[in-house]
Amino acid sequence: MRSNQTRRELLAATAAVMTGASAVHANDKPGINEIAGGGEQWAARWRNWHYWRDHVVPANPAIPGHEAFHNTDGPCVFRIPGESNWFISYLGFNGSGYNTFIAESDDLVHWHDHRLAFGFGPVNEFDHGGRVLGAYLFTDYGASGQRLLKRHKGLFWSLYGCYPKQGGYELRPGYEGVACSEDGIHWKHAREVPILSVFDADCADWEQECIYQPWLLEHGGKYYNFYNAAHGHEQTGLATSDDLISWKRYAGSPIVRNRPGGFDAEFCSDPKVYRDGDHWAMFYFGVGKGGAHIMVAFSQDLINWDALPEPLYRAGGHPGGLDATYAHKTSLIFNPKNKTWYLHYCAVGNRGRGIGLLTSLPIEGSL
């Protein structure tokens, strides 16, 4: 049976009254903390962030021709071959559903030229209710990589989350599709049916209510799709592909699971995976203990993950109240000019829902 309760209602209820009740599954994978050099030592470089004073993409960006779209969310920073600027994609909501927008910047802080990248899908299609880009095919998935879009068969590619119906916030069931682009700015779907659906024959119990956002990674001649899905609680699973079009679920999913009483007791969502030296790091957001927080898990094989119990960054850390309610949905990029990591994230607090920024070193204008 699929629930009609929206994701935002579930998240808001958790923030209001967090009981620490038992989750659907325990995170019972082997502990990387037991490996020499693992766990907390790997996480140390991803703690102790510095704050940008305000949203870098505001809650109401007033995009020309799309002024009704607000509540910006889901950032992903990338580069396009031949372009000197960075680009950011993010979603906006107009009361009917999501669209994806793109802006550009020369400093990762001040974003301009906001425009539509991927709007509503055609009527009666699986993505008519809204489409959210952000799982791009990159040339490099290293933690210090530049997130440069990679061409495959002459086109750029991204997986995307989507919804079939307009008229509200994330009207279930959610699906995932695959999109392509000639220029990295304007996108179209590359397959007429979803790549993952709750109606698939291999859809497991843990994901049977709604499928949400993907993260695409290419490694060892194979494509990996890390995605979050829901059956009451949200957890993260895995599917793989040889061609970006046809996907096979990993039978051992979910690979990052809810932990009773933890910071991810309710949600383990929006995974972003990077190669960091001799291991993989997954940034995701957990919901538990009264908020949505930025978490991390580690792996040496992309299959078996160990999530640290303490967040990398807790909601409410921003001294100006920018993320007093939620801190989640991240995008990590390294700026070689100042040797600094920039972590864009959805910051929900006293200035609404917008795109915030944390940096590994202080930059001019930071708090």
How far is residue 78's CA from residue 89's CA, in Å, rounded to a whole number? 8
Residues of the chain where predicted confidence (pLDDT) is lower than 50: 1-3, 16-30, 33-36
Q: Are 300 and 280 in contact (CB under 8 A)?
A: yes
pLDDT on residue 155: 98
How far is residue 255's CA from residue 68's CA, in Å, rounded to a whole number? 38
pLDDT on residue 2: 43
pLDDT on residue 10: 60
Q: What radius of gyration do the chain's Cα atoms show? A: 19
- Kindly report the pTM of this predicted structure: 0.92
The number of angstroms, rounded, from the C-alpha of 9 to the middle of its chain's C-alpha atoms is 19
pLDDT on residue 39: 87
How far is residue 132's CA from residue 363's CA, in Å, rounded to a whole number? 30
pLDDT on residue 1: 40
pLDDT on residue 20: 33
CB under 8 A, 24+ apart: contacts of 4-8: 4/172, 6/168, 6/169, 6/170, 6/171, 6/172, 7/169, 7/170, 7/210, 7/212, 7/230, 7/234, 8/169, 8/170
pLDDT in tens, 307-356: 999 999 999 999 999 999 999 999 999 999 999 999 999 999 999 999 99
Q: Which two tokens stand for residue 227?
A: 């995605």
- The superfamily in CATH containing domain 7-359 is Glycosyl hydrolase domain; family 43 (2.115.10.20)
For the chain, give every domain's residue range. 7-359
Q: Which two tokens stand for residue 22?
A: 């038992």
Q: Which residue in the block uniquely carries the two structure tokens 């580690």?
A: 298
Query: Residue 7: which H helix or E strand, with range?
Result: helix 7-16
